Amino acid sequence: MVRSAFAVVAPLLLVIAGCAVEEDPGPAESTGAATSGAADKTTSDGATVDGAAADNTVVTTSPPDGPAAAGVSAYGLALLATPAEATHLTVTDYDAIRARLGVPDLTSEDLMTDRLEFWRAAEASSVLLTDGLLREENSRYDLTYDFTQDDVDAEVRWTGPDGSGLLLALRPDLDLDLVQAAIDDDAPGLAEATLDRATSTVLQGAGAEGVWATSSHSATARVGDVAAESLIVRNGCVPFVDALGVDATVDDQDELLAAHDVEGLLEVDAVAIAFTGQRATVRLAYPVGTDRAAIEGDLAARLALAEDWPTTETIGFSDGFDRGSVAGVDLEIGEVQYAVTNPVAAANLALADLVPLGVCTDVELLAEPTGL
């Protein structure tokens, strides 16, 4: 049974916070967690902390049978992998999409026609925030390594000022020797990646200053704790000029500000957009202690703001989303729901920070044109 990300991460934080990374005194035999000379420790909650090679140190927090047995959600894994300095995180839960489309056990061992039909259906009915790291080279992976994107349960990606990275959660019964062979060959997309056998995950682009789960990102942990097929989480609000778009004009800005008091909105600490099928839920994390009635009023004001938001680029907010409604408030998390009218447009808008519901209240005005 899959538990919520926040419920899973809470006990794991105790494990991670107390972990001292042990260096392997001998030569490394593998990039996985089970490495010669690495010590395994068992915590009070049954999780294991596995040592790894000194030149590629990895700390994992999973029971012997991996994340499936622990009930760790895709978002739970994301919180444990995303570097603290990252600003944006996306999670695409292919297992959830397969389940909704009636093929929960689909893998690379199934007929090619069935696999192609799944991708056609997924693209038509889901908001995919990534096409899949391995998918463009599916044929090559199938022929050379005997696994493909169809063996990926979930894909996590993050971006920030220090670069980007990703994590692939693989199906638990996949032969990981095949995956290690692809990594050793620098197969497309897997160059410089590391395999953690304890969790059946592939990691690329790890940070150096901790992860979201162990940093001060409590707002991001709360706001993304929702069942979804695809999820994008932003640490902090969306800057006003970013939400307007790079081609916005002063006239666009002035018309919007004349109709809406953006600076009078409440502050938000983090924003998440969760997609399942063609339904979107925008979740806003308000500062702890914010009054429920105030949040409800702010959500209504932000809904009205989004309705008048200008289209300044090839696509605008109205091209991907229908009219929304306030879904409710859970503690300091406010929710607004939308129907998705165009899955591809919705994905592009979310990835480009062109969804204005989470706009910042600190309005930095566009520069007046000089006429030069």
- Say how many domains are in the chain: 2
Residue 174 lies in a domain: yes
Name 150's Cβ contacts closer than 8 Å, sequence gap at least 6: 106, 107, 108, 110, 115, 118, 138
pLDDT for 370: 57
Residue 368 lies in a domain: no
pLDDT for 61: 36
* Amino acid at residue number 71: G
317 and 258 in a single domain? The answer is yes
Q: 37 versus 173: which is more confidently predicted?
A: 173
| pLDDT > 90 fraction of the chain, expressed in percent and rounded | 69
CA 184 to CA 187: how far, in whole Å? 8
pLDDT digits (tens, 9 = 90+) for 1-32: 233 443 434 444 333 333 333 333 333 333 33
pLDDT band at 71 (very low <50, low <70, confident <90, very high): low
- Rounded average pLDDT over 109-133: 96
153 and 298 in a single domain? The answer is no
Q: How many residues does the chain have?
A: 372
Cα torsion at 170, 174, 177, 181 (round to 10°)?
A: -60
> Which backbone phi and psi does 345 adopt, to 5 degrees?
-65, -40
CA 93 to CA 99: how far, in whole Å? 10
77 and 205 in a single domain? The answer is yes
74: pLDDT strictly greater than 50? yes
- Rounded average pLDDT over 232-255: 92
SS (H, E, C) 71-85: CCCHHHHHHHHCECC
204 and 240 in a single domain? The answer is no
Mean pLDDT computed over every residue of the chain: 82
Angle between helices 343-351 and 112-125 (to 10 degrees): 70
167 and 260 in a single domain? The answer is no
Residue 166 lies in a domain: yes
Q: 211 versus 370: which is more confidently predicted?
A: 211
Tell me how far CA of residue 72 lies from CA of 68, 103, 295, in angstroms. 6, 21, 30
185 and 144 in a single domain? The answer is yes
Pair 179, 147: CB distance under 8 Å: yes
pLDDT for 371: 56
pLDDT for 22: 34
Q: 84 versus 7: which is more confidently predicted?
A: 84
pLDDT for 24: 38
pLDDT for 64: 32
177 and 261 in a single domain? The answer is no
Is 152 strand, coil or helix?
A: strand
133 and 187 in a single domain? The answer is yes
209 and 240 in a single domain? The answer is no
**Final residue of a structural domain among 147, 179, 214:** 214
CA 325 to CA 339: how far, in whole Å? 10
* Amino acid at residue number 99: A
- Rounded average pLDDT over 47-56: 34
pLDDT digits (tens, 9 = 90+) for 176-217: 999 999 999 999 999 999 999 999 999 998 877 789 988 778
For residue 305, give its domain range: 236-358
Instruction: Quickly list H helices, the chain.
Output: 5-17, 67-70, 74-81, 94-100, 112-125, 138-145, 176-184, 218-223, 240-244, 250-259, 292-307, 317-320, 343-351
18 and 88 in a single domain? The answer is yes
199 and 252 in a single domain? The answer is no
235: pLDDT strictly greater than 60? yes
Q: Mean pLDDT lowest for which of 34-38, 112-116, 142-146? A: 34-38
197 and 274 in a single domain? The answer is no
143: pLDDT strictly greater than 60? yes
CA 207 to CA 218: how far, in whole Å? 18
pTM, to two decimals: 0.81
**Final residue of a structural domain among 214, 247, 268:** 214
Residue 259 lies in a domain: yes
pLDDT for 307: 94
pLDDT digits (tens, 9 = 90+) for 322-349: 989 999 999 999 999 999 999 999 999 9
**Final residue of a structural domain among 214, 245, 279:** 214
- Rounded average pLDDT over 89-108: 97
Give 106-139 as a DSSP string: --TTS-HHHHHHHHHHHHHHS--S---TTGGGHH
Residue 225 lies in a domain: no
- Rounded average pLDDT over 81-96: 95
pLDDT digits (tens, 9 = 90+) for 285-309: 999 999 999 999 999 999 999 999 9
240: pLDDT strictly greater than 50? yes
- Rounded average pLDDT over 252-275: 95
